[in-house]
Amino acid sequence: MILNHMLLDEPELEFGHGGRHIDPRLGLVRHGPLQPFPGDKISIGVIGTAETVEGFERWIDRLKSAIPGSSEKQPNLFPPFPGLGNNNPFRCPFEVSPTARRVLPVRDIGQIVGAAKHADAVTAAATLFSDEATAMLEASDKPDVIVTALPFDLIMRIVNDVVVDGEDDAPDRDDTPIDFRDLLKAKALHLQKPTQLAWPTLWDDHARIPRKLRNTQRRVQDPATRAWNFLNALFYKAGRAPWRLPRPEDQLKTSYIGIGFYRDRSGQRLLTSTAQMFDERGRGLILRGGRACTDKGDLHPYLDRTDAYDLVRRSIKAYQGQHHHAPARVVIMKTSRFQPKEAEGVEQALSESNVAYRDLVWISESAPVTMFREGDYPPLRGQLIGFGRDALLFTRGSVPYYRTYPGLRVPRPLFIRPHSKDTPVADVARDILALTKMSWNSTQFDGALPIPIRAARQVGKVLKHVPIGQKEATEYPQYM
């Protein structure tokens, strides 16, 4: 039975000089980033073949000029990129350091492309790029972020599983195929510098990369959108904050913790990772938890009481290390239900840390229902339907600001099911909606998942390649 129904306002973001707007791109154009520094610049290192390094450098130089938007019908969804000149939305230049360029020998790429097994090719490629990044950072000029510019034939081998000179044209089926991105991130964690992958489709408007399925092409964003998204990711990974969630003085200081689960490479151990949002600027601290438990059917992983207590206590200590006080409110998000003993461990840790308000929320992506507006139009983003303690929230849907529904599939709502809460479910939903806008790989603001859940999931994909006992990096940009 539907007890209430409302449309939540699109959350605002805060930019430089206190400026606010709902849209990241227009907010950056009008107000600049949250953290502009006089004389600042983003220094980029780049690793690739002679062709890809040159292509990426030409593209960065091209971005000094404006790039027109791609749609007159939806100008807010596909706005122009104003260029890195006088209208620079980031208020600082992006420069490829001439002493932070590593050109890979053609022979090394050829050996990887010709590897017979997918796992061997991916491992060799990740090792090659991480070794080159290590050598780059041993020099005197240390860039803020390292771009790995992949050539077409290497992408076809390590992503699309195509062997040029071998007999095996598929991954080794004895194990789950290794994702190159995740393995590279894992191998580069010790560098303490974020990496960013770049494909020829970034700088070449005519390049097309096939999907694994025959006769299909990967969808390529328009040139202006590519510029917005890539530069925003570099800006954040370089340690700057493009925007944050506004926090009125009378609002409780809140820490958001997302708990995600992943299996190790053997597939035998179910482990947990957590990505904690320890401030509204979006800086996240990564902590790795203990071994998770599962219910019948392996559908709802959870922590035992001791591990749940330990994980939350360490998270609160990390927050205190940054702010010198405990948060007044903690919101813990999972995509599986809380078990009673697990919740007891969480509550004990919060009580010992003097956290006054706490919300333990199960966010399910498998809502039992969806809805349409009259005429079969998708629901509006921000549509909230309350079912007593629970609620359905559409984080994807039609966006009036964009004048369209930007998605490709029928939008599914998030099913918000609080295990325990001190906050009304509508206010929890407002937090979730706002946190979908804290994703720095995209400047389109209608993300499906709140960043604590999204980040915990990304972190797990990387940590599965990091042996237990090896110290993991604590900064979220190294995992994204």
What tens digit of pLDDT does each residue of 309-344 get? 999 999 999 888 888 888 999 999 999 999 999 999
Please state at what angle helix 305-323 crosses helix 340-352, rounded to 10 degrees: 30
* Low-confidence residues in the chain, pLDDT < 70: 1-3, 36, 161-176, 211-218, 278-282, 296-298
State pTM to two decimals: 0.91
In this prediction, residue 225 carries a pLDDT of: 96
**Three-state secondary structure call for residue 171:** coil
Q: How far apart are CA 321 and CA 329, in angstroms?
A: 16
**pLDDT score recorded for residue 163:** 45
The pLDDT of residue 213 is: 42
pLDDT at 478 (0 to 100): 93
Q: Which residues pair with 261 in a beta bridge?
A: 272
Contact of 374 with 346, CB cutoff 8 Å: no
Are residues 269 and 305 in contact, defined by beta-carbon separation less than 8 angstroms?
Answer: no
Cα 396 from Cα 11, distance rounded (Å): 14
415 close to 390: Cβ distance less than 8 angstroms: yes
Four-CA torsion 101, 106, 107, 113, nearest 10 degrees: 110
What DSSP element (H or E) covers 152? helix 152-158
Residues whose CB is less than 8 angstroms from the CB of residue 172 and which lie 6 or more positions away in sequence, other chains included? 117, 118, 119
**For residue 179, what pLDDT is reported?**
92
Beta-bridge partner residues of 6: 384
